[in-house]
Structure 1
């Protein structure tokens, strides 16, 4: 039997065990203006947008924040250079404006500039063609915080990226984009929404809708941890479930105005020393592009694939064919080819694309759509990670007609995420913080780029417990106190939440988190109220998940990979699969 969690210090906007219980009570008692279904970046963004307009908001997520698409992206907060060739100028302009906002105001602690090399392979025509495209890219969104393009000879490009084969390019162009830890960013958006009054509750599954005549007036919910059932009433429900959009619409017994098609994107993670380059690289493929992106200081992320997926939506599986494709494409340009033995991490995610515009997923529009499915029910789908804030604004605007009170305009372009205010000052005070807490300055910088100005909340949890400022044994990039903070303030309820999303241990180490699972479980046990049997179950469940994923990655096709992945146990024991209507 799980014991009562120990009380913990809770900073503003915290999502810990105490808030979780209080949230369940409020969900059952309060009348909300907006009920948001889905805890990805769009759902979290909608909750933040509505809360900062002065509305009463509830955000409900069946699993964990960002547990679907929003933790499995290419880790870029970008305009989408390739969309210029598809003539989607409005989308690119919108995304680049959001990139600039994130870099300067909303999330400078999480969104970082990143230099890219575009290798040129054709003489005469390609350089002016690429130059004009990147010039448009540099100016469309009014970007002022990153340098413009720079042209290189082949020798200069190879000095920048000596890991590229000499015959793989005839020159190059550098330009800037940005990189982001998508899962941490989404979680921070949700915490910021909670800071402004939203009720945020994960492991809470929508299992039905409440109706009065033809109007949707709320949702029926089920706790994914203990099976409790309840009801949440609201003036309007917003379906922001991404690839689950059609499932939720069927549950509401409403015909959707659009359909969502899932496209699988697979990425591999390799150690930094396997590719000699001082810059990220973007490569053209016959159907799309391939990114080689620096991840932290010790890894590269290489991706992505783009294929239809019609199987389990919660746990998309990478196949051997996916991995071989990525290795084949990147090895076409590398001096020293990568092998399967170089891969330390693999992850697969699903893009929610609006269906019906093309048979090829790579050409489906990344524009988003908002529709009033029924009185009191709004759906939003499509779009791209970078434009989450615009999508959120459009969704709340569409929902305003179902809210009795006057709804103020969106102000989220002026609302920094938690940790942004004070970040730059603290960055300048890194030596003083390091001395005050007895932590090496590089650790402080690492923490600042994960928590921003909340870094002192994290470190203060180790007061009187200096052992918590030591690194996790088998994952030394992270301090023990970070695992505790994930459970105490960031809404983590299971090992998978901590190892796969609050940290990225599951993709950054060859053991994928199995070697530190027990240490982390015992660290967070007092916070989450786990007894020894709970610790054992969490560790076994996590290790089974990793083993299932590794086995699935040896399979030749999606069906066999999916079957192996689904054999692993689900940490949220009471979640309903498939969703019941």
Structure 2
């Protein structure tokens, strides 16, 4: 933190989600000095609560946003190339029914156009299936009225891990990125250095960071930061839409493929197998509540379960089958008169009269291009001639030349884990989260007697990923809260001493952290009675 105060930076980024991380990486690789602050944990907002897909934007064709599909498709290829361990090819089934929103003819044309606009590899291009072939691919689908399906390619990711690896790569290039630093004010100067007024979340110390350009990349909080500078008469630019996801055991919804289906009210829903679970999402409803922790309501749950049970009649899911859930906010660019599902997912840059640069909107897939546009603008303002380099910068952990090598690494890891007496079922989770950093984690497991893998993960994350709380570790570093919550119950009492020793917690902090984690664990399958 001393370095934050002492140095004068070219850019100060407010916001530690994927957009802020992307800006920090882009700017640092162009030789600019960068500081980034995040008021909570990295990826604790929208960037850790998405549908966890790096997708090519098929739904944008419905709104005739052809340029957006082309742009997002290209970016998807770049993200896949730079982090092949984190971005996993996922075949998606789009079932078609009599009376549905999509006819077979229009879907065929749409997917053909999608393949070309999104520059889909020939081997991964769409296949149109008849009804018999569709039911063979996915026997759980309802048979009544089925016409067939489109079978096309998407990419699955861990959004929080992607954000963290972009952030770590930015740090390796010289960016100074710190979490749990809250922005309490901005003083923008058009001629000299500007100031960001900050408060240390844990130490409660106030200090100032100085930079030539200040970037507001706070997602749902963009208007809040803009409002600090212009407290009166601010025109709202960001519209909040809530997206809810539910997780059930795979045995309860044992789909063979990811499925993307039409609900009939203009929305589309994903059903995606992930390790030993299947997750369902998402909703797309207006939201005006607490931005920190948007709740999951029974209305949200009923909506998603009704849609799934209609599409997969033999499943008969109930709220009691849900093992976890999450809710995130989309910071959409406001468009008067449109429903959330109709609003564009495009991004937009706003520059205030004083010079504060804000960026909002956009998608996880397009983070690199969004960052490029912001840094291009800053370089122009600072009269710096440096081109973007992030198209070819591999993220930390992603030093694989092909997906085949990732698969080979996983296979080899299973053999090694067996010799270490570890559960080989965790091999894919490790590689899909940490890539080649898994070697360090695996070697460290030899130092522990019980819960070896979780202990080694905690050791690694504490030293390499700015973990400050148990929630940071169990939610965003490992994803255990959503997809393996049983690991939290099993390991919590062993992990608490590891954290308290490294972070020098006192008894009060230990009790607080333990209680907060237990409360979070208990809340992931309990739902509010609020109405949509």
> Residues 555 and 236 of structure 1: is their aligned pair in 2 closer, same or farther, counting only changes over 3 Å?
same
State the 1:491 CA deviation: 1.6
State the 1:376 CA deviation: 3.9
Where does residue 478 of structure 2 map in the other structure? 503
Residue from 73, 83, 103 that aligns with 1:107 = 83
Where does residue 295 of structure 2 map in the other structure? 317
Where does residue 304 of structure 2 map in the other structure? 326
> Residues 84 and 226 of structure 1: is their aligned pair in 2 closer, same or farther, counting only changes over 3 Å?
same
Q: Does residue 151 of the first structure (1) align with residue 134 of the second (2)?
A: no
Residue-by-residue CA offset, 1:323-349 (whole Å, 9 max, x unaligned): 000001111111221111111111100
State the 1:519 CA deviation: 2.9
Does the CA contact (< 8 Å) of 1:101 and 1:413 recur in 2?
yes
Q: Does residue 92 of the first structure (1) align with residue 69 of the second (2)?
A: yes
Does the CA contact (< 8 Å) of 1:218 and 1:231 recur in 2?
yes
Question: Which 5+ residue runs of structure 1 have no aligned equivalent?
Answer: 1-23, 472-478, 559-581
Number of residue pairs matched? 523
Does the CA contact (< 8 Å) of 2:216 and 2:225 recur in 1?
yes
Does the CA contact (< 8 Å) of 2:448 and 2:455 recur in 1?
no
> Residues 325 and 436 of structure 1: is their aligned pair in 2 closer, same or farther, counting only changes over 3 Å?
closer
Q: Trace 1:11-22 onto structure 2 (pairs within 5 A).
A: none
Where does residue 259 of structure 2 map in the other structure? 281
Where does residue 49 of structure 2 map in the other structure? 72
What is the TM-score normalised by the length of structure 2?
A: 0.92
Alignment RMSD: 2.4
State the 1:29 CA deviation: 0.4
State the 1:216 CA deviation: 6.8
State the 1:71 CA deviation: 0.6
Residue from 536, 540, 564 that aligns with 2:515 = 540
Q: Does residue 178 of the first structure (1) align with residue 155 of the second (2)?
A: yes
Q: Please give the alpha-carbon distance, in whole angstroms, between the structure 2 residues aligned to 1:145 and 1:467.
A: 49
State the 1:69 CA deviation: 0.3
Residue from 238, 241, 265 that aligns with 1:260 = 238
Alignment partner of 1:302: what SS?
strand
Where does residue 62 of structure 1 map in the other structure? 39
Q: Does residue 446 of the first structure (1) align with residue 429 of the second (2)?
A: yes
Q: Does residue 302 of the first structure (1) align with residue 276 of the second (2)?
A: no
> Residues 429 and 185 of structure 1: is their aligned pair in 2 closer, same or farther, counting only changes over 3 Å?
closer
> Residues 408 and 43 of structure 1: is their aligned pair in 2 closer, same or farther, counting only changes over 3 Å?
same
> Residues 116 and 427 of structure 1: is their aligned pair in 2 closer, same or farther, counting only changes over 3 Å?
closer
Q: Please give the alpha-carbon distance, in whole angstroms, between the structure 2 residues aligned to 1:157 and 1:427.
A: 27
Where does residue 393 of structure 1 map in the other structure? 372
Q: Please give the alpha-carbon distance, in whole angstroms, between the structure 1 residues aligned to 2:56 and 2:336.
A: 21
State the 1:368 CA deviation: 0.7
Q: Please give the alpha-carbon distance, in whole angstroms, between the structure 2 residues aligned to 1:506 and 1:434.
A: 23
Alignment partner of 2:311: what SS?
coil
Q: Please give the alpha-carbon distance, in whole angstroms, between the structure 2 residues aligned to 1:545 and 1:138.
A: 41
Q: Please give the alpha-carbon distance, in whole angstroms, between the structure 2 residues aligned to 1:332 and 1:35.
A: 49
Where does residue 142 of structure 1 map in the other structure? 119
Q: Trace 1:138-537 onto structure 2 (pairs within 5 A).
A: 138-144=115-121, 147-167=124-144, 169-212=146-189, 217-253=194-230, 259-285=237-263, 286-295=265-274, 297-334=275-312, 335-403=314-382, 406-422=384-400, 425=405, 427-430=407-410, 433=413, 438-439=419-420, 442-462=425-445, 465-467=447-449, 470-471=452-453, 479-509=454-484, 513-514=488-489, 516-537=491-512
Residue from 530, 541, 555 that aligns with 2:529 = 555
What is the TM-score normalised by the length of structure 1?
A: 0.85
4+ residue stretches of structure 1 with deviation over 6 A?
A: 213-216
> Residues 87 and 109 of structure 1: is their aligned pair in 2 closer, same or farther, counting only changes over 3 Å?
same
Residue-by-residue CA offset, 1:533-563 (whole Å, 9 max, x unaligned): 4322201122234445655x141436xxxxx
Q: Please give the alpha-carbon distance, in whole angstroms, between the structure 2 residues aligned to 1:82 and 1:107.
A: 24
Does the CA contact (< 8 Å) of 1:50 and 1:396 recur in 2?
yes
Question: Which 5+ residue runs of structure 2 have no aligned equivalent?
Answer: none
> Residues 245 and 556 of structure 1: is their aligned pair in 2 closer, same or farther, counting only changes over 3 Å?
closer
